[in-house]
Chains A and B, each alone.
Chain A
Amino acid sequence: MHAIATRSLTKHFRSTWRRRVVGLDHLNFAVRENEVYGLLGPNGSGKSTTLKLILGLYQPSEGEADIFGMSVERTVSRTSVGYLPENPYFYRYLTGAETVRFFGRLCGMRGRRLEEKVSELLALVGLEAHRDRRLAGYSKGMLQRIGLAQALVHEPRLLLLDEPTAGVDPIGSIEIRDLILKLRGMGKTILLCSHLLDQVQDVCDRIGILHYGKMILEGDVKGLLARKDQFQFTCEGLDDPARARVREAIRAAGGRLISEGNPATTLEHLFLQSVRSADRGKAAPSGATRPVDLPTAERP
């Protein structure tokens, strides 16, 4: 059974002068259980519309969608879903713990079970120290993390994350990405909408690209990105004569050397390394090398 399945899911909107605008055009896609699926696309491509249709916040103009085999038109289907909206704004007058408690109560949780869940989730998202602080004083990264906590409160099997790192600084963004990886490790199915392609590449098993409400590309991330006609070595400890011998060996074997040089790190890794070094009271590194403790995002 699929976690999400849509069949010809279509949404029309009415604009000024009653002109019909297609928000989503006969979308057919499925998210398998225990996978992280990245829904990509430029602004206005239909990502958020898809999520709202799956959550029953919009009525489809045509087609249908299921969550674990239940029609999304039934409110009960949402017992299996946790949702983190784009730029989530929760009640600013509630504290972190009160927010998670409020959503837990909405899901029918009460008493000690709820209190234990609140503490467990605040620890999971790293907000235990801020549990009694009002959300009005939370940063964007903290709001995203409390958003994740409320999305998880009723132990859903499926998580819908709409731009979970929108407006968050690089460190907060990395923390949220690590959290998503942790949730995948816990067996959750995740549908992630984002236009931050590096992030999607790091965490997703499969992706689909939406454009003007249509799915224009879908598949396994590694499969889609791999250049099967090329091969890349990254090595160290070679001096100039040794490099010349490698070039010669490639030519002798009938290959063609396409590029060579020092591999570049990503700006994200350089930023993180600099900030962490400064935090430790050390000078920022001058060399552009990728830290070994961070997940790599190799490029072809």
Chain B
Amino acid sequence: MKTSTPRLGFSFGRLWTIGRNTMTEVIRQKFFYILLVFGLVVIASSRFFAQFSSVEQIKFIKDFSLAAMTVFGALIAMVGTAELLPLELENRTIYPILAKPVHRTEFLLGKFAGMAMLLLLTILLMSLIFEGLLLSTEHQLLASAAASASAPGAEVSAQEIADQILHQTRDPALLKAIFLIGIKALIVCAISLLISTFATSVIFNVISSVIIYICGHLEAGARQASLGDQSPIVRGLMLVVAFFVPDLSAFNLADAVVLGQHIPLRLVANTAAYGIFYAAIALALAILIFQEKEI
């Protein structure tokens, strides 16, 4: 005889418990520290490479630091996420969890949430170092600009140099660029999680993620180049790639930021929505596969 069974609804409490634990887990892995420290050192070292004029030096720091944040954010997302599910299966830590009244969706989204929180924390940390670096460089450059402008025969006034420096360092577009770096890392994280639901090894997952990451950056250029191509095969192939692989170059605002171009808020919002859409699709597919997975 069967009794009527009550429903067990989706719980953000359980998702949060798994997410917080995932974050603790990744934080305690050595590779995370290695990548994070390396990322911070690279950002901090950008200052010592610069041997240019004052404004050029700031541009260099911005360009170098934003690139470092993008690369290390993506690396942490790829390597960290690729290990999440295989480690749970290999160490059998998943069994007692799914033997509790926990939906598989909560488990998977909890894992993603933990990694996402960690990525945002990492990017925040790198941003703070970056900002500190910019402010200290700004302080030094302003002091030296004031000294050189007050020298007899100076062509540019101290105020003009200061304006140019402040225009570069206090640029709100920097925040927009960092925001999109975060969104891009989340897409990479979601794609890597999707691959880990069916991949047989961590290495396969990391390599696949790297290939998708590279394709995502080359996609826009290739699409542009193929526009003039008459071959339907090439055009069809580009269409398929464009459908399955997100255009990751759209998230790169570093060039515009360095050139001091205006970045409309609408563009940032649209790009973020595009990224969140891709991440949501990847997560939905991951959930579908994981629901049927025999563990």
Contacts and interface: CB of A to CB of B under 8 A. Distances in A.
Nearest to A70: B5
Contacts of A180: none
B294 A57 contact: yes
Residue among B2, B95, B294 having the largest count of chain A Cβ atoms under 10 Å: B95
Interface string B4-28: 0111100101100110010011001
B30 to A, nearest CB: 12
Contacts of B92: 85, 87-89
Contacts of A70: 2-3, 5
B21 A102 contact: yes
A103 B2 CA distance: 28
B101 interface: yes
A107 interface: yes
Contact of A78 (B91, B93, B101): B101
A91 interface: yes
Contact of A105 (B17, B24, B93, B95): B17
A79 B101 contact: yes
B97 interface: yes
A59 B91 CA distance: 21
Contacts of B13: 105, 108, 110
Contacts of B235: none
Given A79-B101, A93-B24, A108-B13, A85 B5 contact: no
B2 A66 contact: yes
A106 B1 CA distance: 29
Given A76-B7, A103-B100, A89 B91 contact: yes
B8 A79 contact: yes
A150 B102 CA distance: 14
A151 B17 contact: no
B156 interface: no
Nearest to B100: A106
B26 to A, nearest CB: 11
B155 interface: no
A32 to B, nearest CB: 15
A106 B14 contact: yes
A34 to B, nearest CB: 18
Interface string A43-74: 00000000000011111000000101111001
A74 B5 contact: yes
A212 interface: no
Contacts of B6: 76
Size category of the binding interface on chain B: 20 to 34
A238 interface: no
Nearest to B110: A106
Given A59-B294, A106-B14, A108-B14, A91 B5 contact: no
A37 interface: no
A108 B11 contact: yes
B96 interface: yes
Contacts of B97: 103, 106
Interface in B264-295: 292, 294-295
Contacts of B3: 1, 68-70
B103 interface: yes
A110 B103 CA distance: 19
Contacts of A84: 96
B96 A57 contact: no
B5 A106 contact: no
B155 to A, nearest CB: 61
Given A76-B7, A89-B93, A154 B100 contact: yes
A124 B91 CA distance: 26
Contacts of B218: none
Interface of B: 1-3, 5-8, 11, 13-14, 17-18, 21, 24-25, 28, 91-93, 95-103, 292, 294-295
25 contacts: A56-B98, A58-B294, A68-B3, A69-B1, A75-B101, A75-B103, A76-B101, A79-B8, A83-B95, A85-B96, A85-B99, A88-B92, A88-B96, A91-B21, A91-B93, A103-B96, A103-B97, A105-B13, A106-B97, A108-B14, A110-B13, A147-B96, A150-B96, A154-B100, A160-B99
Interface of A: 1, 55-59, 66, 68-71, 74-79, 81-85, 87-91, 93-94, 102-103, 105-108, 110, 147, 150-151, 154, 160
Given A106-B17, A110-B13, 5 more contacts: A77-B5, A78-B100, A88-B92, A103-B97, A106-B18
